[in-house]
Structure 1
């Protein structure tokens, strides 16, 4: 993007992205500032036109995989008014929710909780504004501030400036080869845009609609949820679920293993030698990656069994199977599937192919590339702060969701949002207090 001479809009703190991570930070900043004289201004930039958390995966019957106690605040402060329990109370559903006898709300309800919390910060969020790059502002040879270059939905250039920057932009949908060459083809859908994508590929569901063939690729929770949903949404569709493993694997949520998601686990992982840290993360991957909740596995297995009883096959689980080639055609997408156990492959036609293949996250988002000359390292410290030098001591750059290799599996999940947000807020406010304390005597 070309440079602009417009004077940038200034705030003390800018957050890129306004999903759960920076929403938790907004709450933490408000809470921390309430107890002291330093109240820096904060604004969050969100490219979506309105708040929304995984809206394309709001599937009927899909529940959260974590307890409601792991909300935006409760692990740090159970009395905070932004708790999930207070949300239920404010909505008049607290008693009814208790009657459900569950710790896991529906995904739809949890999204509504997040939106309810986000409403309280509406004046501090610039929706429909994306950030393309972050540039250094240099004074006396040192990094003195950040200048953010972005665009609004209308295409207008917007320049902003801050001393403290928190990036929580999320991961990028991963579409592996050979699917990458089909980007832009509406018949190829990633799970991150599943609901609008499947509608664009197959049209509106109808009981008397044409028979459709759908291929879902992936062996995790989202893949199975999508396979089940697509079959229910399109009653005449035939669904193939291709997994590279020999079987769907259950997520390990047993108590001792689940401690990897405790706040204390971040200290344990971060403090370990690098090879040990990698072993710890690898040893716990079956808590989160390419695994499925046991009850969903049981339900899907029962569906396949009932097909055997009835003799009508709509769902197929293709085990040890890889898509080795895919080609577009007027009648659909031709996918070549290889059975690694049998050593055979066959080409089948599909009306839609859905990649439930997860996300990629660089250690440092590309929008920060202009700052690389000032990066002392590309790994954040314990408090999620990226080391910068030479830079003003009052400056800070924090990343949320990019440090799994150094902080553990909680980094890309909801498990410890309030703890991480509290640490970042405290770091920023300590810097502001120290700077303002140093400035005040000189002014006097």
Structure 2
């Protein structure tokens, strides 16, 4: 029988990259596959001067093992940038440098295989042979397929752009998602009117970037429509940030499904706001553009949903069908280009639903049940586990996509697989508590 690895990771993003880095201090053997030719983190949104929204300590290892070779500080040390970073005196780091750091980690690790797409995972359970998963991989360049076997699987397939059906089917240089922003920026700058649809961080970053480019384009108008009540900032207060702690995730996971859904609605400003520094820079830019009674060539309108897009009769522009929901007013809006900052949805491969839908437990028709240590809950007892880092907001809360908490999740995955505490799974990490503990326990 072919070799059975301890772990096979599906997807190589920051989550599985961190898992691979932390596994190096164990005896676990693993492979990680990604269909992209090489590592590149959100390349379409690597806008200059934009920072990561979490501190540099949320690299792929530090919160679990600050002595690791793969810390951000060691990256700076090896790049001879330690003094520059020291004088930079910022806790948040440029997004472009974080991407370069991740590539540095990739170059140092073995077992990361790019240009290979996982096209199937077969569950070999209740057989005479050792229970395991068979992972079928296809080489992107040659279409050659090969199978690998693993005791455990970690699915980190990430997310994909959310584009409503009414906004699909148009030329990508005209109607595009923010994930392709930098690829199409030249086309945007060649037009006279660009409209951004959205209210989150990506929408604000694209608007700010185009506003700064507007200095070289006298005739370009910029518009932003958002169905949200306004452009509000991300919760940045210190006690508010404690909701991104292991302690809160423990509390959240124990709630009922109904209570978890209600909590997500209450804590929306923890997930969907805009970084305060971005909003400050955006306002400063708008103010400078309006000095001397100049009229800024900008339209910003909240409470407005874009319900559809159609090409104009002369095919030189597009008409957006808009609805200001508070005043209940419908109107059409003419623009040349549209950037959709409409967010992302979890990417679940077709093979996953085909093979595992009937084998696992579900919270509702779309959301699977997940343990605190990120295992899918199967309808049978098993010791070969299927871990997930995709689509966990319903089970792990607002911090499910937080880079720092991803390290904690990897700690739990490794400890579960090894069967002992390889890395400390720390509790009592914050000043708040979310329920009264039983003092007699």
Shorter-chain TM-score bucket reads 0.7 to 0.9
Tell me the alpha carbon deviations over residues 190-213 of structure 1, each in whole angstroms, 9 at most, x when there is no partner. Answer: 1122211334x44xx5xxxx5421
Aligned counterpart, 1:442: none
The range that moved more, 254-263 or 224-233, is 224-233
Q: What CA RMSD, in Å, does the superposition of the two structures yield over aligned residues?
A: 2.5
| SS of residue paired to 1:327 | strand
Structure with higher helix content: 1
Aligned counterpart, 1:416: 405
Aligned counterpart, 2:378: 388
Matches within 5 A, 1:315-330: 315-329=298-312, 330=315
The alpha carbon displacement at 1:389 in A equals 4.3
Aligned counterpart, 1:151: 138
Aligned counterpart, 1:72: 60
**Change beyond 3 A, Cα 1:92–1:217:** same
**Change beyond 3 A, Cα 1:306–1:40:** closer
Q: TM-score, structure 2 length as denominator? A: 0.85
Distance in 2 separating the partners of 1:396 and 1:221? 35
**Change beyond 3 A, Cα 1:375–1:324:** closer
Q: TM-score, structure 1 length as denominator? A: 0.85
The answer to whether the aligner puts 1:247 opposite 2:230 as a matched pair is yes
Distance in 1 separating the partners of 2:126 and 2:326? 62
| SS of residue paired to 1:336 | strand
| SS of residue paired to 1:373 | coil
Aligned counterpart, 2:334: 349
Q: Is the 8 A contact 2:56 2:91 kept in 1?
A: yes
The alpha carbon displacement at 1:305 in A equals 3.3
| SS of residue paired to 1:374 | coil
Matches within 5 A, 1:44-55: 44-55=32-43
Aligned counterpart, 2:177: 190
The range that moved more, 212-221 or 304-313, is 304-313
The answer to whether the aligner puts 1:91 opposite 2:79 as a matched pair is yes
Q: Is the 8 A contact 1:143 1:374 kept in 2?
A: no
Aligned counterpart, 1:164: 152
**Change beyond 3 A, Cα 1:365–1:257:** farther
Return the match for 1:358 from 299, 320, 343. 343
Distance in 2 separating the partners of 1:22 and 1:397? 14
Aligned counterpart, 2:386: 397
The answer to whether the aligner puts 1:261 opposite 2:232 as a matched pair is no
The answer to whether the aligner puts 1:300 opposite 2:279 as a matched pair is no
Distance in 2 separating the partners of 1:304 and 1:382? 45
Return the match for 2:269 from 286, 306, 309. 286
Distance in 2 separating the partners of 1:376 and 1:406? 13
Unaligned runs of 5+ in 1: 1-6, 34-38, 434-444
Q: Is the 8 A contact 1:136 1:147 kept in 2?
A: yes
Return the match for 2:194 from 214, 217, 234. 214
Matches within 5 A, 1:102-141: 102-121=90-109, 123-140=110-127
Q: Is the 8 A contact 2:200 2:274 kept in 1?
A: yes
Size of the aligned set, in residue pairs, is 408
**Change beyond 3 A, Cα 1:96–1:306:** closer
| SS of residue paired to 2:357 | helix
Aligned counterpart, 2:431: none
Matches within 5 A, 1:265-280: 265-280=248-263
**Change beyond 3 A, Cα 1:387–1:157:** same
The answer to whether the aligner puts 1:231 opposite 2:218 as a matched pair is no
The alpha carbon displacement at 1:119 in A equals 1.1
Matches within 5 A, 1:17-32: 17-31=11-25
| SS of residue paired to 1:375 | coil
| SS of residue paired to 1:13 | strand
Distance in 2 separating the partners of 1:52 and 1:211? 28
Distance in 2 separating the partners of 1:17 and 1:168? 5
Q: Is the 8 A contact 2:361 2:369 kept in 1?
A: no
| SS of residue paired to 1:172 | strand
**Change beyond 3 A, Cα 1:144–1:353:** same
Q: Is the 8 A contact 1:8 1:159 kept in 2?
A: no
Tell me the alpha carbon deviations over residues 135-169 of structure 1, each in whole angstroms, 9 at most, x when there is no partner. Answer: 22355399932223342222333333222100011
Tell me the alpha carbon deviations over residues 327-384 of structure 1, each in whole angstroms, 9 at most, x when there is no partner. Answer: 135313321223334443332333321111111127x654312123332453111111
Aligned counterpart, 1:334: 319
